[in-house]
């Protein structure tokens, strides 16, 4: 049948069917998928048959990324775990919490928590009748005492943002099982190259994939990993809430996974050197890094984390409060002033005015966050250069 030029322009020949597997991950940059029949469309959309219908629902590139992270998180498990992809870490966090709570539910979370999660719990979910008790997450008795009959989630962070406290993952998981609730841990600061919470009994682990997983500060995404039945609940809420990972972002994040252990090992070694080098500086009131023997959770970190890897983030508390913290950031020359972390470049941010701006002065104090504290993500530069830049900036205070 002869067709007009406009029809031929729209209906171009199909791409070739490959007989070989590509080394790189194919990017399915399409919003919709074509079906051979109305029944196939119905079956795929209804979950009666495997396949793809619409990239807000599922996308092969995004699924490949999520399953790759699940494979890393589930290395030591004898049970199946699967991943769900998201447009950002906050999309992953909010969707998981929406899936595991309801109006009248209750969440127990640590005072030392990422500002975005704090804001979600206190200004969004609170409006829909979900209450949260913030406690000392390192005190399991405090966590246990906060659990109520209506509690559905115990929340934690493998390495707390920004105090760098370490969660007692086996203890938190045991409390959740005892209470019949779900345990969820944000493991963004660790990544599966440092610690795998599911191995310690945690039900769900979430990541801002923008950080260490992607590793190059060029893509935004999130991921949640857990048992298939739990992730099915999360997937359904992800579809309805719309926070799906785009295929191009999924490709970049997936590419980052290939070098994750190499990068995290270097991040960790460099951060340990920088943290140790700053301890004696007269302008420094304290350095928080779980790799330091002086860190309150060092023994727990050494038990839970892979040998020699304590993450690439440290928090510096300069003497002089908020003004000193802002001045420290402004005096940096090599280390960038930027949001996010876990990338190739070292970056710093004044915590109280940026990542934890949602916290009141009282909430900051309760979480143990000094008004001048500065978070530093140590990148892949030479550690001596990063340390030297921080020292010259501290010398100016």
187 closest CA partner among 150, 219, 222, 149: 222
Are residues 71 and 140 located together in one domain of the fold? yes
- End-of-domain residue from the set 239, 257, 275: 257
Report angle CA 304, 309, 315 to the nearest 5 degrees: 100
Return the number of other C-beta atoms located less than 10 Å from residue 236's C-beta.
13
The confidence score (pLDDT) of residue 109 equals 98
Residue at 100 is within a domain: yes
Are residues 250 and 266 located together in one domain of the fold? no
61 closest CA partner among 36, 92, 30: 30
- Residue that the structure tokens 């701006």 belong to: 357
- End-of-domain residue from the set 257, 278, 312: 257
Q: Supply the CATH number for residue 162's domain.
A: 3.40.640.10
- End-of-domain residue from the set 257, 292, 323: 257
The overall pTM is greater than 0.85: yes
Residue at 2 is within a domain: no
Are residues 378 and 349 located together in one domain of the fold? yes
Are residues 109 and 194 located together in one domain of the fold? yes
The full length of the chain comes to: 397
The confidence score (pLDDT) of residue 24 equals 93
Classified as helix, coil or strand, 134 is: strand
Residue at 95 is within a domain: yes
Are residues 237 and 355 located together in one domain of the fold? no
Are residues 324 and 215 located together in one domain of the fold? no
Residue at 133 is within a domain: yes
Are residues 188 and 56 located together in one domain of the fold? yes
Residue at 25 is within a domain: no
The confidence score (pLDDT) of residue 358 equals 79
* Phi, psi angle pair for 365, to nearest 5°: -65, -40
Are residues 114 and 248 located together in one domain of the fold? yes
Structural domains in the chain (count): 2
How far CA 4 is from CA of 8, 13, 77, in Å, comes to 6, 15, 58
Are residues 267 and 228 located together in one domain of the fold? no
Classified as helix, coil or strand, 1 is: coil
Are residues 179 and 70 located together in one domain of the fold? yes
The confidence score (pLDDT) of residue 68 equals 98
Are residues 337 and 212 located together in one domain of the fold? no
* Phi, psi angle pair for 213, to nearest 5°: -60, -50
Are residues 166 and 206 located together in one domain of the fold? yes
The confidence score (pLDDT) of residue 310 equals 98
Could you tell me the two tokens for 319? 């003497």
Residue at 30 is within a domain: no
Q: Supply the CATH number for residue 327's domain.
A: 3.90.1150.10
How far apart are the C-alpha atoms of 114 and 112, rounded to whole Å? Answer: 7
Which domain, by its residues, includes 336? 260-395
The confidence score (pLDDT) of residue 364 equals 75
Residue at 118 is within a domain: yes
- Residues marked active site are found at 56, 114, 186, 211
> Quick one: 331 exposed, middle or buried, by C-beta within 10 A (0-12, 13-18, 19+)?
middle
Residue at 20 is within a domain: no
Q: pLDDT means per 10 residues in the chain (397 residues)?
A: 87 88 94 96 94 96 98 95 98 98 98 93 97 96 98 98 94 98 98 98 98 98 98 97 98 98 98 97 97 97 97 97 96 96 97 79 78 96 98 97
Contact 393, 332 (CB under 8 A): yes
């Amino acid at each position: 049948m002869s067709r007009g030029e406009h029809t031929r322009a729209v209906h171009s020949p199909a791409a070739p069917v490959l007989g070989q597997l590509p080394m790189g991950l194919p990017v399915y940059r399409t919003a919709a998928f074509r079906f051979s029949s109305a029944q196939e469309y119905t079956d795929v959309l209804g979950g009666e048959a495997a396949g793809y219908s619409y990239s807000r629902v599922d996308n092969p590139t995004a699924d490949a990324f999520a399953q790759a992270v699940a494979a890393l998180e589930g290395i030591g498990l004898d049970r199946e775990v699967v991943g769900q992809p998201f447009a950002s870490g906050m999309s992953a966090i909010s969707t998981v919490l929406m899936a595991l709570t309801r109006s009248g539910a209750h969440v127990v979370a640590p005072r030392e928590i990422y500002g975005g999660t704090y804001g979600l719990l206190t200004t969004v979910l609170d409006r829909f009748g979900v209450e949260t008790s913030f406690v000392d997450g390192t005190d399991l008795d405090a966590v246990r005492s906060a659990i109520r009959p209506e509690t559905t989630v115990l929340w934690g962070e493998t390495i707390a943002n920004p105090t760098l406290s370490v969660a007692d993952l086996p203890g938190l998981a045991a409390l959740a099982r005892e209470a019949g609730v779900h345990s969820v841990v944000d493991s963004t600061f660790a990544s599966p190259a440092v610690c795998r919470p599911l191995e310690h009994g945690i039900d769900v682990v979430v990541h801002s994939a923008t950080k260490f997983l992607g590793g190059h500060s060029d893509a935004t995404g999130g991921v949640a990993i857990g048992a298939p039945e739990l992730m099915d609940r999360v997937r359904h809420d992800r579809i309805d809430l719309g926070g799906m990972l785009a295929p191009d972002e999924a490709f970049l994040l997936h590419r980052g996974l290939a070098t994750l252990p190499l990068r995290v090992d270097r991040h960790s070694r460099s951060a340990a050197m920088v943290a140790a080098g700053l301890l004696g500086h007269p302008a420094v009131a304290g350095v928080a890094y779980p790799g330091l023997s002086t860190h309150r959770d060092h023994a727990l970190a050494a038990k839970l984390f892979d040998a020699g890897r304590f993450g690439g983030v440290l928090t510096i508390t300069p003497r002089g409060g908020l003004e000193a913290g802002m001045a420290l950031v402004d005096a940096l020359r090599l280390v960038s002033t930027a949001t996010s972390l876990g990338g190739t470049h070292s970056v710093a941010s004044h915590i109280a005015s940026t990542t934890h701006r949602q916290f009141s002065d009282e909430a900051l104090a309760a979480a143990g966050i000094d008004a001048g504290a500065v978070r530093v993500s140590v990148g892949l530069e030479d550690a001596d250069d990063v340390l030297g830049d921080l020292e010259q900036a501290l010398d100016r205070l």
